[in-house]
Structure 1
Amino acid sequence: MEIEGKVAIVTGAGGGIGAGLARRLVAGGARVVVADLDADTAAKVAGELGERAVAVGGDVADRQVIAELIATAEREFGPVDLYFANAGIGGGPGLDSTEAQWSAALEVNVLAHVRAAELLVPGWVERGSGYFVSTASAAGLLTQIGSAPYSVTKHAAVGFAEWLSVTYGDQGVRVSCLCPMGVDTRLLSGDLIPEDPEAAALAIKAVKTAGKVLSTEEVAETVVEAMAAEHFLILPHPEVLHMYRNKGADYDRWIAGMRRFQSMLTAS
């Protein structure tokens, strides 16, 4: 998969990984719809990218907004080739998370992916090509200390991406799932669990302690390289694969290790 000449939609592109992806795609010759809940930040990023980008503001978990993104891409640039389901939120802390926090995390982190696929995949199957890139997290392969909704919904995002690839991979639909650890975004500045500073601090400490915090530019470059090779799992932090293998090799030992890690974090 080459990105030059392709038409892409990137959600959550007003900042963070999404903005990094939009910039890298345009630099590689793609044309991009920059989508974000914050219309002003989306417009700012698109404005920096020039005529190869347009901005759309709205809730990308809303089916009508997703349809508007697709219509805008088709009107401005042509049929959508690449969809980056990148928007994500932290959710709540643990068992005290509210129904609203669980619902919001499920909507943005999972159902936004499902609805985009429902609107795009049938056309891609008919055309024989299309690429869906889901941003999950290393938490979707491992777990997230401090936030139950984030951990659970990121696992679900990985699961949906797997199902999508298995079901449509032989019909021209390529799928990749991005699972980074720490990335220099707003999620690491207190937005992971904004309603609970103590849980947010624990979650952020866990992420920062686990490995290097990468720049959004580094992550975007890794994504493009992985797409060129059509890898399913995109792991900007290669050590995640080692952790995942250890988890699968001895689940009980891995859980015990995670308990020790959590105890260390809470004691420090």
Structure 2
Amino acid sequence: MEIQGKVAIVTGGASGIGAALARRFAQDGARGVVVADLDLAGAQAVARDIGALAVRCDVSREADIQSLVAAANERFGQVDVFMSNAGILGRLGGIELEDALWEKMWQVHGMAHVWAARAVVPGMVARGEGYFVVTASAAGLLNIVESAPYGVTKHAAVAFAEWLRIAYGRRGLHVSCLCPQSVLTGMTQGGTGSAGVNGVLTAEQVAGDVLAAMRDERFLVLPHPEVAQYFLKKAQDYDRWLGGMQKLYAVHMDGKG
């Protein structure tokens, strides 16, 4: 799919990958762009730059996503592309982290994609065409040593994107899943950790990769191509891969060489 002439919603659009995607969609000729974020002022700043619509949206609430889609339909008549991009990092840690943080991660990285699909996929299927993009993470294919809830819920994001492609791929819905390692955004200001092992990309580089994947209608978007090899090695020898991840955990979490 080409973005020219299409209407796109981008959640988490006030900064980082979301802002870069909103700008790139507008640059490449989208008929309408909706910049959605919990940070309304940030969304409005991006929207002013590109002539888009800004909407405040907390993706951890289904009602907010329904209102977002209604606002897009009211302004532009339909939604052709939904970029389900919003994400959070939260505090680092594992089983000791409080249930409230785990639940928030499930909502933002899991249910937000479900609620968005519930809001837009029926219309896309009825028209015979639409694009749904999930921002997951390389952590969704591999894992991440610093944060158990992040790694677990990003796995859920990948699984849901797969399911959408399986269920609706022959009914006009195109689905892609974005799985980068470290990207230069607000989430990496405290350091890149293990995700930065293959370098840190700009959000603009990632946005370009998403547009290329949409044109080719590819499922996996891997701005860091090394992730594909790691994923292959994981499948070929799971125990060896787990051993390597244990070493990575020791370096980044235990402070051991």
Q: Same fold (TM over 0.5)?
A: yes
Normalised by the length of structure 2, the TM-score is 0.96
How far 1:125 sits from its partner (Å)?
1.4
**Distance in 1 separating the partners of 2:100 and 2:248:** 29
**Distance in 2 separating the partners of 1:62 and 1:9:** 16
Percent identity over paired residues? 51
Q: Quick check: 1:6 aligned with 2:6?
A: yes
**Distance in 1 separating the partners of 2:46 and 2:120:** 24
* Counterpart in the other structure of 1:116: 116
Correspondences of 1:150-161 after superposition (within 5 Å): 150-161=150-161
Deviations 1:14-48 (A, max 9, x none): 00000000000000011210000011100111011
Give unpaired runs (5+ residues) of structure 1.
191-200
Deviations 1:56-97 (A, max 9, x none): 012022222112211221222220000000000113421111
Residue in structure 1 matching 2:224, options 214, 237, 245: 237
**Distance in 2 separating the partners of 1:63 and 1:38:** 17
Matched residue type, 1:207: A
Matched residue type, 1:62: R
Deviations 1:184-228 (A, max 9, x none): 0111113xxxxxxxxxx6xx32112x2110000000000000100
Normalised by the length of structure 1, the TM-score is 0.92
**Distance in 2 separating the partners of 1:129 and 1:2:** 12
Matched residue type, 1:91: G
* Counterpart in the other structure of 1:33: 34
Of 102-111 and 70-79, more deviation after overlay is shown by 70-79
Deviations 1:137-193 (A, max 9, x none): 000000011100000000000000000100000000110000000100111113xxx
How far 1:123 sits from its partner (Å)?
1.4
* Counterpart in the other structure of 1:173: 173
- Structure 1's consecutive aligned runs of 4 or more residues displaced over 6 angstroms after TM superposition are none
* Counterpart in the other structure of 1:205: 193
CA contact (8 A) 1:90 1:150 kept: yes
CA RMSD of aligned residues (A): 1.1
How far 1:127 sits from its partner (Å)?
1.0
Correspondences of 1:1-268 after superposition (within 5 Å): 1-30=1-30, 31-50=32-51, 53-92=52-91, 93-190=93-190, 204-208=192-196, 210-265=197-252, 266-267=255-256
Matched residue type, 2:246: R
SS in 2 for 1:64: helix
**Distance in 1 separating the partners of 2:117 and 2:70:** 15
